[in-house]
Structure 1
Amino acid sequence: MRLRATQAGLSAGIGATLFLHPTDLRLQVEEGAWLAPLFFLGLLFSSVALYFVVSLMDPGFVHEQKKESGSKEQEIIAFPQDVPEVRLRRCGYCMLKQPMRAKHCRECRHCVRRYDHHCPWIENCVGERNHRLFVLYLAVQLAVVLWAMETAWSGLGALPSFSSFSWVWLCHNLLLLLCLLVLSVCAVVAALLLASHAYLASCNTTTWEFMSRHRISYLRHCPDEENPFDRGVFHNLWGFFCARRSVRWENLYPSAV
């Protein structure tokens, strides 16, 4: 809960700082041009809302399976070849049968479907149900951060030279300078994460599979460049962003692996 409060506090604090100093956004408000300031505030609120949604939602925890006729829980995507059923492994912690690509998270104390990683910033796992929202959150957050950096820079005005530097100028712009420092770090982190997860989504792989494939039973026997779940960039991205049901990955597992 502390990190969630920190996220909300940082967003509110940076937003207030940008409007309390003579930045472009404040000047537009004073001139009655509300469109850009309101859009910025809406984008800022959206980033905070997405953060809490991704942080608090079920990332795809594995529960006891109930066999019901006509169940729509799983979506089976046909593979262009007959694929044998894969025996599922039973988790040694929660004693449930793990679907393929699931992993037990010790922090959450659950197995997570299509496990990507446990994110300490959101205090939750990133998995099958919240991975696409996590990527959307990163994109919105990056847009907010870059806009806030440009706004903070506009509030500094002309930077003093070394000979004309004064403590009065530093004290007057200290909050904006701190905002720029925090925003710069956030921009680098958000950009790197967004780029890496976009690449992983295009390959239909996860952070866990990418980093630990030599220890994963269904990947360690594959050639280094082979991904048994890769169906092409278009289909991978379509399935990642548009699929609305769980995929039974063991039915897509090639028999040659």
Structure 2
Amino acid sequence: MAIRVYQVWKGSNKFILGGRLIFGPDARSLLVTILLITVPVIIFCAFVARHLRHKFSSYNAGYATLVVAIVFTIYVLVLLFLTSARDPGIIPRNSHPPEDEIRFDTSVSVDVGGRQTPSLQFPRTKEVIVNGLPVRVKYCDTCMLYRPPRCSHCSICNNCVEHFDHHCPWVGQCIGLRNYRYFFMFVSSSTLLCMYVFAMSALYIKVQMDQYESTVWKAMKESPASVILMAYCFVSLWFVGGLTGFHLYLIGTNQTTYENFRYRADNRINVFNRGCVNNFLEVFCSKVEPSRNNFRAFIQEEVPRPQVLPELPRAAADDLASHPRSKVEDDLDIGEDLLKISQRRNIDEISEDIRSRGSNGPPLNAPETDPVLESDHQAPTIRSDRHSSWGRRSGSWEIATEVFANSNVTESRGYVTSKEAFQG
């Protein structure tokens, strides 16, 4: 059965409708946000706007109060859906580290006999030029890529998101390159909806005062729903209104929330600032970039890649040329020999086999091999230390009494990895 990309996605996202919609791991909070928007509007339509239908000079003009509230609410919910149910700008993960960034360090490990073992090294950061100025980008160990400028790894969604702003729990999604515009429009529209409901509720209290010639307190008692709606909208305005103002400042200066909180005290030059007008045009008038991920695509078998590695340093190349058989291969053969030895019962065959293969270690005496020969099912385990991949210490071997059932698998993996590192 064919498997699609979204079914094996390594991030923490949730997919519905066969991968057509993508949400964050906290998508349930989206239901709370929807209730916080729709419940007050329903109360407003039932207890306020319905009574304002015939309170205007034109008999049917009051219906506009009800229609505007309903249409505006639908508009806000659509913006919320566009913000939370789409790819915010996730950068696809690599299946292997970037080969063009591999470096070899020959000074890390030195074997007995003076031979050096090159080790793979990855620079943790590198610089790219943005608008003529250098910008440092970091390597992501999880996604195995160098993050583009203004990209960050979201710890909640477990993805690298381009132009990462923040992860919003109210919409259950990261805010990034592809949904920031809709996020701002959702927040600003929610602010306008709160202002509208607040104003219409206050108007209804004023109508009550004029109709019954009563005081404010008596009018408020006649319409408790208006009072509750005004209090709710007043508190909400501090949140969504303040958020709207803050993001207006960020857009005008071409910053993200992440950059503003992290680099505010560094007094860095903002290389992305193109001027207030151009910054607003970039957010609201630029084309939304297509998603880099096709979550509904079928997974295809990965074609084996050619082993292309950077050229080894001169010292490492000379060392490998002078020793046709590398240390790892020597260690592997000796390890295989030991596994074969554990299955033999004749001590003379053991000694003869080791001498015929030219082992570097001292010959094994009979008392030392007795524990190994006592069991037909136990294989020797080679203890390793930090200076050797197979545990060789000054030309000798240590064989543990424990059994490693998958020792051959571990050895095979180490051999393949080392062979890829040393062969061009």
Q: What's the RMSD between the two structures over aligned residues?
A: 2.9
Structure 1 pair 26–11 and aligned structure 2 pair: CA distance change class (3 A)? farther
- For residue 52 of structure 1, the aligned residue among 61, 81, 85 is 81
> 2:46 matched to which residue of 1?
20
The separation in 2 between residues aligned to 1:29 and 1:125, in whole angstroms, is 45
Structure 1 pair 106–41 and aligned structure 2 pair: CA distance change class (3 A)? same
Which runs of structure 2 are paired with 1:1-40 in the superposition (5 Å)? 1-23=27-49, 26-28=51-53, 31-33=59-61, 34-40=63-69
The separation in 2 between residues aligned to 1:196 and 1:206, in whole angstroms, is 10
Deviation at 1:178, TM superposition (A): 2.4
Is 1:185 the counterpart of 2:227 in the alignment? no
3-state DSSP class of the match of 1:94? coil
Cα offsets for 1:115-154 (capped at 9, x unmatched): 1111111111111111111111122111111000111223
The separation in 2 between residues aligned to 1:151 and 1:201, in whole angstroms, is 31
Query: Could you list the runs of 5+ residues in structure 2 that have no partner in the other structure?
Result: 1-26, 95-129, 290-424
Structure 1 pair 87–194 and aligned structure 2 pair: CA distance change class (3 A)? closer
Structure 1 pair 180–91 and aligned structure 2 pair: CA distance change class (3 A)? same
Equivalent pair of 2:28/2:172 in contact (CA under 8 Å): no
3-state DSSP class of the match of 1:20? helix
Equivalent pair of 1:17/1:175 in contact (CA under 8 Å): yes
- For residue 234 of structure 1, the aligned residue among 272, 277, 301 is 277
The separation in 1 between residues aligned to 2:216 and 2:181, in whole angstroms, is 46
Deviation at 1:173, TM superposition (A): 3.6
Equivalent pair of 1:4/1:52 in contact (CA under 8 Å): no
Which runs of structure 2 are paired with 1:79-90 in the superposition (5 Å)? 79=131, 88-90=137-139
> 2:394 matched to which residue of 1?
none
Which stretch has the larger CA shift, 231-240 or 150-159?
Answer: 150-159
Deviation at 1:37, TM superposition (A): 2.5
Cα offsets for 1:162-194 (capped at 9, x unmatched): 7x79xxx65x64433222222112112111111
Deviation at 1:225, TM superposition (A): 6.0
Cα offsets for 1:197-245 (capped at 9, x unmatched): 1111111111111110179xxxx5xxx1621111111221111222225
Deviation at 1:93, TM superposition (A): 2.9
Number of residues paired by the alignment? 219
The separation in 2 between residues aligned to 1:60 and 1:214, in whole angstroms, is 24
Q: Which has the higher strand share?
A: 2
The separation in 2 between residues aligned to 1:226 and 1:87, in whole angstroms, is 13
> 1:111 matched to which residue of 2?
160
Is 1:199 the counterpart of 2:260 in the alignment? no
**Which structure has the bigger radius of gyration?**
2
- Calculate the TM-score normalised by the size of structure 1: 0.74
Which runs of structure 2 are paired with 1:89-100 in the superposition (5 Å)? 89-100=138-149
Q: Which has the higher helix share?
A: 1
- For residue 178 of structure 2, the aligned residue among 119, 123, 129 is 129
Q: Which has the higher contact order (CA 8 A, sep 6+)?
A: 1
Equivalent pair of 1:21/1:155 in contact (CA under 8 Å): no
Deviation at 1:35, TM superposition (A): 3.3
Tell me the percent identity. 24
Equivalent pair of 1:54/1:133 in contact (CA under 8 Å): yes
Equivalent pair of 2:41/2:69 in contact (CA under 8 Å): no
The separation in 1 between residues aligned to 2:54 and 2:158, in whole angstroms, is 48
Cα offsets for 1:66-114 (capped at 9, x unmatched): xxxxxxxxxxxx94x5x67x67422133333311111111111111111
3-state DSSP class of the match of 2:92? coil
Query: Could you list the runs of 5+ residues in structure 1 that have no partner in the other structure?
Result: 66-77, 247-257
The separation in 1 between residues aligned to 2:287 and 2:93, in whole angstroms, is 21
Cα offsets for 1:48-69 (capped at 9, x unmatched): 111122122211111147xxxx
Structure 1 pair 52–26 and aligned structure 2 pair: CA distance change class (3 A)? farther
Which stretch has the larger CA shift, 188-197 or 150-159?
Answer: 150-159
Which runs of structure 2 are paired with 1:95-174 in the superposition (5 Å)? 95-156=144-205, 157-158=208-209, 160=215, 170=221, 173-174=223-224
3-state DSSP class of the match of 2:53? helix
